[in-house]
């Protein structure tokens, strides 16, 4: 099974279901949590929550600290830039609630009391992270490499990919106490060992780590801004081919690259670095959107602008999600937020 196909099938299925979305199903037909889990989660997390491309969810160490809100928020936001999709526009809040209840049903013991978190020093936390966590979670906390293809049903210690912690979806869902509790307990059956045992980390050190991890989330939500922007340390000529690959892998068609030089430099001075504009499109999505409102043609087909600034390469695109409320059409808002999420994922994946 190709992972890309699963994800795009999800989004396309969603579009196909537009009509159906607005018609309320009768109470008798409403699927239960187990059924919804099988339909939307089991391909990645395993039918029994044993894990696969997605993390195992039936671990007792996880279930004891993951409350309903954590599960609900994780489903809502997904993990942008990772393979875990956001379900905000796919499942209603009630449906997400039923799935959360179903997952919590796997817990055998009581819910654990989460530890208090005191004031921490993010600078000390950064050192500790580099020493104790970065080997698995990545130096920037961006997580282990995820498989591009699903090798069937994978479980077992070696294969659990360390999740991204520097991730807006994770940081939106996880409380400080949840993060500390994870360090204290670890997750038996995975490489995530407990750090509280044998006093590998003191209570203060764990608070420092929480402060450091939380610091990643202090930026604004990139999808709330009129322009979506992702910065990368990669040079432009390395980033652009990655960006094209990322565009294609999200089932958009790359159309052309346009290069602009702002101004010709005065004689004897170095030329300014060029601005590249990548044009791409998803004809299926575009047709659907145009059916809803012709005016979307003003910001589609899609463009990402790439330029250098402050020693970094910047990718930027108009955010359809921020524009969509202007059209006063709920169907369009749904479409636009899908496209915005795709833009963000395309840019984030290109810069990994
Ligand atoms: C040997 C590899 C390894 C090391 C070292 C490690 N982790 Fe983990 N961590 C993992 C794995 C794998 C998981 C996923 C466990 C699961 O399946 O639930 C994880 C899960 C987590 C989670 C939960 C994330 C989520 O999405 O629920 C947090 C928080 C976390 N680790 C923090 C840390 C911190 C902080 C450190 C350093 C003190 C650390 N980890 C060190 C491998 C590691
Ligand atoms: C396309 C694959 C995929 C699908 C479908 C998917 N997930 Fe995930 N999920 C993942 C991956 C991968 C991660 C880990 C993210 C990372 O590595 O940063 C994850 C993480 C999670 C976590 C965090 C676990 C932890 O230890 O904190 C929860 C909870 C979760 N998913 C629940 C769900 C639910 C519920 C559904 C269905 C509504 C679902 N997922 C559908 C791939 C998927």
Give tens-digit pLDDT for 252-271: 888 899 888 765 666 666 56
Residues 55 and 106 both lie in one domain: yes
- Residue among 107, 131, 137, 146 whose CB has most ligand 1 atoms within 8 A, to mutate: 137
Residues 312 and 227 both lie in one domain: yes
Domain-ending residue, one of 219, 254, 282: 219
Give tens-digit pLDDT for 333-351: 677 777 888 899 999 999 8
How many whole angstroms separate alpha carbon 195 and alpha carbon 214? 18
Q: Does 111 have pLDDT greater than 90?
A: yes
Put the strands of the sheet holding 302-309 in their side by side order: 227-232, 312-318, 302-309, 275-281, 253-260
- The atom of ligand 1 lying closest to the CA of 129 is 37
Query: Nearest C-alpha to atom 28 of ligand 2 is from which residue?
Result: 74
- What's the CATH code of the domain at 339? 3.30.310.70
Q: Which ligand is nearest to the CA of 71?
A: 2
How many whole angstroms separate alpha carbon 55 and alpha carbon 81? 16
| Domains: count for the chain | 2
Ligand 1 centroid to Cα of residue 162, in Å, is 6
Domain of 301?
A: 222-350
Domain-ending residue, one of 187, 219, 251: 219
Residues 265 and 165 both lie in one domain: no
Residues 187 and 41 both lie in one domain: yes
Upper half-sphere CA count for residue 49 (Cβ side, 13 Å): 18
Question: 74 and 8 in contact (C-beta within 8 Å)?
Answer: no
- What's the CATH code of the domain at 134? 1.10.760.10
17-31, 130-144, 252-266, 293-307: least confident range = 17-31
Ligand 1 centroid to Cα of residue 184, in Å, is 11
Ligand 2 centroid to Cα of residue 30, in Å, is 23
The predicted model gives 54-60 an average pLDDT of: 94
Question: 44 and 53 in contact (C-beta within 8 Å)?
Answer: yes
Residues 282 and 153 both lie in one domain: no
Beta-carbon contacts of 32 under 8 Å, excluding residues fewer than 6 positions away, are: 98, 102
Ligand 2 centroid to Cα of residue 179, in Å, is 17
Residues 51 and 30 both lie in one domain: yes
Ligand 2 centroid to Cα of residue 51, in Å, is 9
Domain-ending residue, one of 174, 189, 219: 219
- The reported pTM is 0.68
Q: Does 25 have pLDDT greater than 60?
A: no
User: Which residue do the tokens 């209603």 mark?
Assistant: 92
Alpha-carbon radius of gyration of the chain: 22
Q: Does 99 have pLDDT greater than 60?
A: yes
């Amino acid at each position: 099974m190709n992972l890309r196909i699963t994800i795009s099938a999800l989004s396309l299925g969603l579009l196909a279901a537009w009509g159906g979305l607005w018609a309320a199903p009768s109470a008798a037909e409403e699927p239960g949590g187990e059924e919804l889990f099988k339909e939307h989660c089991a391909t990645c997390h395993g039918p029994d929550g044993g894990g696969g491309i997605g993390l195992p969810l039936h671990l007792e160490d996880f279930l004891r600290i993951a409350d309903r809100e954590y599960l609900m928020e994780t489903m809502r936001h997904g993990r942008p830039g990772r393979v875990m999709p956001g379900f905000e526009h796919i499942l209603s809040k009630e449906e997400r609630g039923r799935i959360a209840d179903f997952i919590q049903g796997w817990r055998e013991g009581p819910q654990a009391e989460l530890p208090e978190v005191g004031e921490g020093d993010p600078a000390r936390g950064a050192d500790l992270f580099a020493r104790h966590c970065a080997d698995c979670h990545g130096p920037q906390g961006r997580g282990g490499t995820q498989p591009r293809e699903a090798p069937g049903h994978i479980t077992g210690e070696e294969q659990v990919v360390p999740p991204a912690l520097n991730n807006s979806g994770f940081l939106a869902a996880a409380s400080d106490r949840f993060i500390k509790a994870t360090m204290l307990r670890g997750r038996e059956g995975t490489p995530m060992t407990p750090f509280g045992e044998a006093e590998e980390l003191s209570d203060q050190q764990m608070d420092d780590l929480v402060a450091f991890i939380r610091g990643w989330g202090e930026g604004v939500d990139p999808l709330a801004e009129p322009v979506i922007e992702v910065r990368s340390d990669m040079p432009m000529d390395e980033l652009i081919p990655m960006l094209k690959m990322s565009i294609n892998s999200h089932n958009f068609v790359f159309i052309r690259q346009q290069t602009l030089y702002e101004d010709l430099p005065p004689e004897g001075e170095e030329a300014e670095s060029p601005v590249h504009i990548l044009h791409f499109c998803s004809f299926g999505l575009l047709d659907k959107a145009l059916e809803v409102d012709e005016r979307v043609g003003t910001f589609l087909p899609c463009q990402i602008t790439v330029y250098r600034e402050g020693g970094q390469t910047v990718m930027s695109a108009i955010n359809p999600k921020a524009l969509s409320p202007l059209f006063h059409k709920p169907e369009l808002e749904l479409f636009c937020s899908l496209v915005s999420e795709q833009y963000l994922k395309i840019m984030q994946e290109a810069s990994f």
